[in-house]
C-alpha cells in the first residue's frame, strides 16, 4: 500500500499541471482582458495599461502560466484584486465558518440517509418503502432557494427559533447561527442520498450470496447488516468521499442568504467583482481536494473489502 500511495501522490504532479493549464486557459485566454471589466467601459487605454502592469498581466502568457503552476504547489495565491488582501489569509479566515456549517451538516445527513436506506431496504416493496421514496422525490423536486426562503421566514422570522443571519466565532456561540442552514442542508441532502444508498443496497440484496445466506437460516436483518451492507460499502464510500472536497466551499447559497462569512460567500463575491486570483485559488484548492480524497477513497476500499489489493 505504501508504494501505491507514493505512486498516486506522484500522479498528482501531472494532474496538477493539467489542471493549472485548464485554469490558465479559462481565466487568462478565454475570458479576455479583465482590466476592461475592472475599470468599466469608460476606462482609457492608459488606465488599462497601468492596471495591467500593476496586476502582472503584461507578462508573457508562459510566465503567467508558471505563476499558476507555482501557486498550485505552494498555495501562495498572491493578493485579491478586489480587497487587496493576501488570498491565503482570506482562505484561512473563511474556512472556519464554512467548515463549522458543512462538516456537521454533511455527517448528520450521511448517517441519517444511510439509516433510512437500510430501514426501507429491509421493508422493500412495502408501504413505508413507497412512502419514503415519494417523500424523497417530492423533496428533490423543490428548489433549494424555496427551502431557504421558507425556513428563514417561518422558523427564524415568525417563530424566532434561530438566528436569521450572521456568524459568531467560538463554540458554542456559532451553533445558533449555523443550526438553521445546517437543517436546510440536511433536508436537501437526504433525498438524493437515500435514493442512491437504497439502490446500492437493493442491488446487493438480489445477489446469489444473499440467497445462499437465507438457505443457511440466517435472519434477514443479519444478512442485511453483516453481509449486504458491507458489500455495498464500495460505491457508498465512493459517493460519500467524493463529496468531501466540496465541503471546503461550504454551500454557496446557504452562506450567501445567511450572511455567513465563509468560502462560499467569498467565492460569490469574487465572481461578482471579477476577482480572478480568488477564483483561480478556489479552483486549484478544489482540484487538489478531489485528487487527495480520491486517493483516500481507494485506501478505504481495502478496509471495506480486504479482497481488494493494490497493484
Lowest-confidence region among 50-59, 91-100, 145-154, 183-192: 50-59
pLDDT digits (tens, 9 = 90+) for 7-53: 777 887 888 888 888 888 877 766 666 676 666 667 677 777 777 77
Say if residue 171's pLDDT is above 80.
no
Among 307, 244, 303, 207, which residue's Cα sits nearest to residue 110? 244
What is the structure's pLDDT at 249? 62
CA distance 174 to 166: 9
pLDDT of residue 22: 84
Q: What's the rounded Cα separation, in Å, for the pair 258 and 124? A: 39
pLDDT of residue 111: 92
Grid cell for residue 86 = 493576501
Task: Count CB-CB contacts under 10 A for residue 310.
Answer: 14
Which residues on neighbouring strands pair with residue 86, listed in sequence order? 79
Rounded to the nearest integer, the mean pLDDT of the chain is: 81
Q: Any alpha helices (H) in the chain, and if so which ranges?
A: 2-24, 34-39, 45-54, 61-74, 87-122, 127-141, 144-151, 175-205, 208-215, 220-223, 229-231, 233-241, 252-257, 263-272, 276-304
Q: What is the pLDDT of residues 50-74, one digit of tens each?
A: 777 777 777 777 887 888 888 888 8
- pTM for the whole structure: 0.79
Structural domains present in the chain: 2-74 (no CATH), 95-304 (1.10.3720.10)
User: CA 95 to CA 97: how far, in whole Å?
Assistant: 6
In degrees, to the nearest 5, what angle opens at C-alpha 142 toward C-alphas 236 and 268? 80
pLDDT, one tens digit per residue, over 188-237 is: 889 888 988 888 888 888 888 888 888 888 887 888 877 788 888 888 88
> Could you report the per-residue pLDDT of 7-19, keeping only the tens digit for each?
777 887 888 888 8
Amino acid at each position: 500500500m505504501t508504494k501505491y500511495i507514493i505512486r498516486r501522490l506522484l500522479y498528482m504532479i501531472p494532474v496538477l499541471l493539467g489542471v493549472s493549464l485548464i485554469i490558465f486557459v479559462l481565466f487568462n485566454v478565454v475570458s479576455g482582458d479583465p482590466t476592461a471589466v475592472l475599470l468599466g467601459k469608460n476606462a482609457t487605454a492608459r488606465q488599462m495599461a497601468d492596471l495591467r502592469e500593476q496586476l502582472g498581466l503584461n507578462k508573457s502568457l508562459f510566465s503567467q502560466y508558471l505563476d499558476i503552476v507555482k501557486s498550485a504547489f505552494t498555495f501562495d495565491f498572491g493578493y485579491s484584486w478586489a480587497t487587496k488582501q493576501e488570498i491565503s489569509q482570506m482562505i484561512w479566515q473563511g474556512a472556519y465558518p464554512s467548515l463549522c456549517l458543512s462538516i456537521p451538516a454533511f455527517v448528520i445527513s450521511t448517517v441519517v440517509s444511510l439509516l433510512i436506506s437500510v430501514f426501507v431496504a429491509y421493508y422493500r416493496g412495502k408501504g413505508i418503502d413507497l412512502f419514503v421514496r415519494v417523500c424523497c422525490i417530492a423533496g428533490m423536486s423543490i428548489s433549494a432557494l424555496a427551502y431557504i426562503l421558507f425556513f428563514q421566514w417561518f422558523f427564524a422570522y415568525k417563530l424566532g427559533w434561530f438566528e436569521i443571519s450572521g456568524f459568531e466565532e467560538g463554540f458554542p456561540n456559532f451553533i445558533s447561527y449555523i443550526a438553521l442552514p445546517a437543517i436546510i442542508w440536511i433536508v436537501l441532502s437526504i433525498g438524493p442520498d437515500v435514493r442512491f444508498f437504497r439502490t446500492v443496497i437493493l442491488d446487493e440484496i438480489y445477489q446469489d450470496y444473499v440467497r445462499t445466506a437465507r438457505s443457511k437460516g440466517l435472519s434477514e436483518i443479519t444478512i442485511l447488516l453483516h453481509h449486504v451492507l458491507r458489500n455495498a460499502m464500495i460505491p457508498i464510500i465512493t459517493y460519500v468521499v467524493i463529496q468531501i472536497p466540496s465541503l471546503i466551499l461550504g454551500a454557496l447559497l446557504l452562506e450567501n442568504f445567511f450572511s455567513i462569512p465563509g468560502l462560499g460567500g467569498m467565492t460569490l463575491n469574487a465572481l461578482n467583482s471579477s476577482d480572478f486570483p480568488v477564483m483561480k485559488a478556489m479552483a486549484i484548492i478544489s482540484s487538489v481536494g478531489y485528487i487527495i480524497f480520491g486517493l483516500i477513497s481507494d485506501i478505504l476500499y481495502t478496509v471495506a473489502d480486504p479482497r481488494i489489493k493494490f497493484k
